[in-house]
Structure 1
Amino acid sequence: MQFPEWLRSLRFSGGDSKSEMDNLKTLLPSLPSSFSLSSLSLSPSSIIGLGALASLTTYWLVTRPRPIQPPCDLQAQSISVQGDQSCRRSALLKDDNLLEFYYEDAKTVYDMFQRGLRIAGNGPCLGFRKPGEPYQWISYTEVAERAQVLGSGLLAKGCKPNPQQYVGIFAQNRPEWVITEMACYTFSMALVPLYDTLGLEAMVHILNLAEISMVICDKEDKAESLLKIKEKGVTTTLSCLVLFNPFSAALLERGRKCGVEILQWSCWIFNLCLYWLQPPKPQDLAVVCFTSGTTGTDHVTFDCILTEFKTNSSLLQVSMFCHGARVGFYQGDISLLMDDIKTLKPTFFPVVPRLLNRIYDKILGSVTSPLRRVILHYAVRRKQAELSSGVVRNNSLWDRLIFNKIQASLGGNLRFILTASAPISPTVLSFLRATLGCLIFEGYGQTECTAGCTFSMPGDWSAGHVGAPLPCAMVKLTDIPDMNYYAKNGEGEICIRGHSVFRGYLKDEERTGEALDADGWLHTGDVGQWLPNGTLRIVDRKKHIFKLSQGEYIAPEKIENVYTRCVPVLQVFVHGDSLQSYLIGVVVPDPEVFVNWAKERGVVGSYEELCQNPDVKKAVLEDMTAVAKEAGLKSFEQVKDLYLHPEMFSVSNGLLTPTLKSKRVDLRRVFSEQIAQMYSKSSI
């Protein structure tokens, strides 16, 4: 069963009348064969009672919830490839040939939007709102027209209509972002998204590597940061900025002095001549993605990912456009996000686990009475019992009595939620599936495989895994002897191959060769485990770079190098959990300076005593925070709590390698108790 067919199956029919009668018979007690109505003498009240019972039974049979029919056997959601149990593909496929295109008329992102345009026509496409106002909508027709006008403007400013032309965009998510994206695709140009967390040094590297001359920005402050780079003379290609928002005359003059033309979006595109459309081919480049975590141009640790049109870029948005759906954007202020959601009343809601964790915490935090808490947990258990039988609904007695306000806070129309970018706690996932009364799917992937490679199967509402391989990819596990993971045991490094895997890193053959092996397998650095039902569980991380629950990348070694600049710090181990939104650290103070350093702050004691002193710990954390800010670390890159350890990490105690590098797996194991204690505190 294909996914659209499964969606249609959600509109349940009345069912087979014969089976309904069989069900009715099971509700009634066995009657003797000689039974006849004439043998009964019933009072009028008894007849009325039987009639009421029959009516209630009929109503229950007609309205009782039906379980969702899964598209495959949930006990065999993936199938081994050529008998290799470590390599698996989707059970939705008929054979080992992977899905390349779902629709024959939609083989590029441009094609996908055009398909949505044919479906929706002048229907709503992109939504935005001003504070306190309802959403306003830009139609599919308007988006297509504006994209052609903007793309024509890019060509008029010297951009070439080919995939080797890189156009930068430095803006928050908003309708103009999508219009810019579609403008590039309309004329076969490649898009290069930029964002604040990259930092100026990484921005310079990106501008030079991709030889970007044109960048489209939303606000004046972003344009100023780019002009600052230009004024330093470290990038020579940047020559034009286009701003969504109005800007000052001072910015215009500053740009003129350093040779950068600055244009106002609304004024510039007003009188442009239209160029003939030059849409891309399926093999053409679509987007170059840089992920955060750079330590500078000497040791670049961010990823520059090339993705073809046939795998699409803004995956979820484009999937919506392909079917003529509409997409609403928040106002740009995260504090108003919940108000935007209530106003938009979304049907489909992609979300990072951190937000789901906040919803979970808010629900539990609002229930202060012990009696109400007991009722809440009982209602959740009843809904979870329905989930275990495949029933997902938001109209049960418990929804009407307990969960309706929770569902209304998210608009009241939710049917699908997709969570990805970081793992989510099974407890939170099961709880929200019950309380929100909608389908919640979990996915796994990387930017290098165009976001997703596994996805939870419709009908499987168990937690603790990230689903089975998507039809466009194969997933296999390979041995990691150093970490004692072996593919023969169903464990190992997750490797991905298929049409969704990226082409390589921009102008970096060496790193491309490290990520993609000779057979085309992408090595993710994540450690997975195959479960008996064919789904994948993420159990560990091979690479040091990891994500926090909000999806931010963390390069711990870079952060540790900053913290060792602190006077009292000799060694530090920075740890993050993908289920948590902040970092914690284990710090070994420098024995030669620590006692005097503490004494200068009015605290006297031995080295061991000072390590246990909460005031000293607070002072060390403040010092580390100051150094981190001075070094330019983002807030999410700074530890929020720490443990002072009085014994040095060394080769002899197994916490350092012979080359004096931290053995992160062993450090995590040794300090597991302290880590758990720090994360058991209330959220920071």
Structure 2
Amino acid sequence: MVDAVAGAMAHVGVAPHGRAAMFGANSPELMIALQAGNRGTHTVYCVPLYDVLGDHSVEYIIEHSGTLRCTVLPRAAAESTIVFVAAGKLAVLARALGEVVLPVQVRDVIRACGVRVHRFQEFAELGREHPSPPAPPSSDDICTIMYTSGTTGVPKGVLLTHRTLATAVASLAHWMGCVGLDIGRDHGDRYLSFLPLAHIYGRCVEEAFLSMGACIAYWSGEAKGLPADIRASQPAIFCSVPRVFQRFEATTLDKISKAGKAQQALFHTAFNLKLAALKAGAPWDKLASAVFDRLVFRDISRGMLGDQIKLISSGGAPLARHVEEFMRVCGCAKFVQGYGLTETCGATFVSDPDRPDQLYTVGPPQPAYELRLEAVPDMECDPLGIPPRGEVLVRGEGVFVGYHKDEDETRKAVDAEGWFHTGDVGEVTPGGALRIIDRKKNLFKLSQGEYIAVEKIEGVLEDSELVGQVWVHGSHYESCLVAVVVPARRRLEAWAREQGIEGAYCDLCRDSQVRRMLQHELEAVGRKGGLKAFELPKAIHVEEEPFSVANDLLTPTFELRRQQLLKRYSGVVDGLYESMKSRAAGPR
């Protein structure tokens, strides 16, 4: 099939070093098309797209990448995007499996533009009728132009070569061997393709498992259907972003809260004892789990991730400590955190699941990478301090070769010695693992000169079972922080019932008693988590609508879009500061 699709690409006129846009949800057809680009008669630069980018970003990427003749393979694409594709930008549209039903008006636009439309199988048959011999690319040829979603500004096209991706895949496979994971076809291991293939995290992990002969199962594409997908596929490996693990935790704790007193006591006792054993260095599958897994946690793990799970991996965004603890205890499998950027080809750092000193870290750099910390004097980050802190710099064969059509940004990001400046500030633990503190651009001073790392603060505050999401804001014009809090809905409703407070969820979010309770809860959780007094928000707004990709408050990797949050809540923020100043001034 790969040979056929590659032949079809060549036949329809994808020129040497031409661009082929790949647009759609994870599917066998999408991976086949990506591999066809790798195998092509001449190297083809794949340009992954995904629907949550929005039509404007898709249009920008197609224009910026120079994708004028390409293959698009959507299982489900926005009608407006198909209209745009049909409006003269692309010469060929290959439609996967006939699942996208084009409206009559869209078909008319396509025909008027002279765009050829093929079902995926028809496109493959076209390649069989016009075969082309494989011509493997060189290691320095571009493999993909992967556009970062970014929290600000327009997407940047990250140029990743075949050497870069091969290095990352080999590094990941080596790491699995080092931590005792024997993955392959002989064991019947499956990987659930859930992370978007348009993101480097999902792409590299899937390529790694293909290289080891593992089976790939593709999720249905519907978040509500993920549990059913897991039950059907029974994955050995599950890689995801923190938001999914937060949902696992919230759902489980909600069930526990509704159980009898004896069951609640058993769960919490078992949880604390197993966590203490793991922190002391007991292997997750032996002493720490000898009794409690059979009594308590195996059923929880089976409900979340099936019977065959061996490894659980979190990446793409910071993971709250309480969520990591929950997954380590209740997952009944090795659990790791990883860190990397599109520019460093994904899993640049990965923790060791069997080392307790790497809890709450993203681990050491992988074999193909070097780590260096650079001082950030304004933030009092010293690489020679205790602990060593600074901006995280990465160098190695797995680092990108530049930004497409943007030499200025490339020079800003990569220095003369080849070090890529990530923009993240981190510290190195005594055991050599990296702990990410915050984005450099998210560090600022309050008016009295105290330094603030908002991402670290948000991570601590989200340890509260009553908090679903939180955005912390401050500036050098103000002396304190404020926050917008999205409650954990089920937990808040349960608390309201216990307090005898009536009303729908939206009413609870506007209730002054709820706001005061959440304010006190944040203060208690913050102090427990080691936050200083000036790091605690002094006023909060309770928001019923979760931050999401759909409302443009999260990136596709579920990071906060801080500029959009400030734009949306600027009036709320101003009101919180004004009310505090009015109270401080007292009656006139």
| TM-score interval for Structure 1 and Structure 2 normalised by the shorter chain | 0.5 to 0.7
Where does residue 343 of structure 1 map in the other structure? 232
Are 1:483 and 2:335 matched, yes or no? no
Where does residue 133 of structure 2 map in the other structure? 276
| Aligned positions of 1:126-525 closer than 5 A | 146-160=1-15, 162=16, 164-187=17-40, 188-212=43-67, 213-219=69-75, 221-222=77-78, 224-228=80-84, 231=87, 237-246=89-98, 247-248=101-102, 250=104, 251-271=106-126, 272-293=129-150, 300-312=153-165, 314-368=203-257, 369-387=260-278, 388-393=280-285, 396-409=290-303, 410-462=305-357, 463-489=359-385, 490-525=388-423
Task: State the 1:634 CA deviation.
Answer: 2.4
Q: C-alpha distance in 2, partners of 1:204/1:249?
A: 21
Task: State the 1:220 CA deviation.
Answer: 6.1
TM-score, with length taken from structure 2:
0.68
Task: State the 1:437 CA deviation.
Answer: 1.6
Unpaired segments ≥5 residues, structure 2: 166-199, 444-453, 463-467, 476-509, 516-540, 555-560, 582-588
Residue identity in the other structure for 1:152:
G
Secondary structure, counterpart of 1:367 in structure 2: helix
Task: State the 1:325 CA deviation.
Answer: 0.4
Decide which of 528, 552, 557 is 1:634's aligned counterpart: 552
Q: C-alpha distance in 2, partners of 1:648/1:574?
A: 24
Whether the 8 Å CA contact 1:252–1:262 is kept in 2: the answer is no
Q: C-alpha distance in 1, partners of 2:19/2:363?
A: 35
Could you report, residue by residue, the CA deviation over 1:466-511 in whole angstroms, capped at 9, with x for unpaired residues? 1111111011111112222122211110000011111010011000
Are 1:531 and 2:395 matched, yes or no? no
| Aligned positions of 1:53-64 closer than 5 A | none
More displaced 10-residue stretch of structure 1: 254-263 or 470-479: 254-263
Secondary structure, counterpart of 2:384 in structure 1: helix
Could you report, residue by residue, the CA deviation over 1:616-644 in whole angstroms, capped at 9, with x for unpaired residues? x9xxx99999xx99xx9525356598555
Task: State the 1:345 CA deviation.
Answer: 0.9
More displaced 10-residue stretch of structure 1: 446-455 or 381-390: 381-390
More displaced 10-residue stretch of structure 1: 520-529 or 578-587: 578-587
The structure-2 alpha-carbon separation of the partners of 1:613 and 1:270, relative to structure 1 and needing over 3 Å to count, comes to closer
| Aligned positions of 1:90-105 closer than 5 A | none
Task: State the 1:219 CA deviation.
Answer: 4.0
Residue identity in the other structure for 1:525:
G
| Number of equivalences | 439
Q: C-alpha distance in 2, partners of 1:423/1:249?
A: 41
Secondary structure, counterpart of 1:215 in structure 2: coil
Could you report, residue by residue, the CA deviation over 1:634-678 in whole angstroms, capped at 9, with x for unpaired residues? 2535659855546579xxx9xxxxxxxxxxxxxxxxxxxxxxxxx
Q: C-alpha distance in 2, partners of 1:643/1:209?
A: 36
The structure-2 alpha-carbon separation of the partners of 1:635 and 1:492, relative to structure 1 and needing over 3 Å to count, comes to closer
Secondary structure, counterpart of 1:217 in structure 2: coil
Q: C-alpha distance in 1, partners of 2:474/2:365?
A: 40
Q: C-alpha distance in 2, partners of 1:522/1:159?
A: 32
Q: C-alpha distance in 2, partners of 1:445/1:238?
A: 33
Whether the 8 Å CA contact 1:243–1:263 is kept in 2: the answer is yes
The structure-2 alpha-carbon separation of the partners of 1:524 and 1:197, relative to structure 1 and needing over 3 Å to count, comes to same
Where does residue 104 of structure 1 map in the other structure? none
Task: State the 1:319 CA deviation.
Answer: 0.6
Where does residue 30 of structure 1 map in the other structure? none
Whether the 8 Å CA contact 1:576–1:584 is kept in 2: the answer is no
The structure-2 alpha-carbon separation of the partners of 1:491 and 1:256, relative to structure 1 and needing over 3 Å to count, comes to same
Whether the 8 Å CA contact 1:214–1:240 is kept in 2: the answer is yes
Task: State the 1:586 CA deviation.
Answer: 6.0
Q: C-alpha distance in 2, partners of 1:267/1:499?
A: 39
Q: Percent identity?
A: 25
The structure-2 alpha-carbon separation of the partners of 1:344 and 1:479, relative to structure 1 and needing over 3 Å to count, comes to same
Whether the 8 Å CA contact 2:235–2:309 is kept in 1: the answer is yes
Task: State the 1:237 CA deviation.
Answer: 4.5
Q: C-alpha distance in 2, partners of 1:208/1:404?
A: 50
TM-score, with length taken from structure 1:
0.59
Secondary structure, counterpart of 1:176 in structure 2: helix
Task: State the 1:276 CA deviation.
Answer: 0.6
Q: C-alpha distance in 2, partners of 1:348/1:574?
A: 28
Whether the 8 Å CA contact 1:150–1:180 is kept in 2: the answer is yes
| Aligned positions of 1:24-103 closer than 5 A | none
Residue identity in the other structure for 1:400:
R
The structure-2 alpha-carbon separation of the partners of 1:633 and 1:354, relative to structure 1 and needing over 3 Å to count, comes to closer
Pick the structure with greater CA Rg.
1
Higher relative contact order (CA 8 A, sep 6+): 1
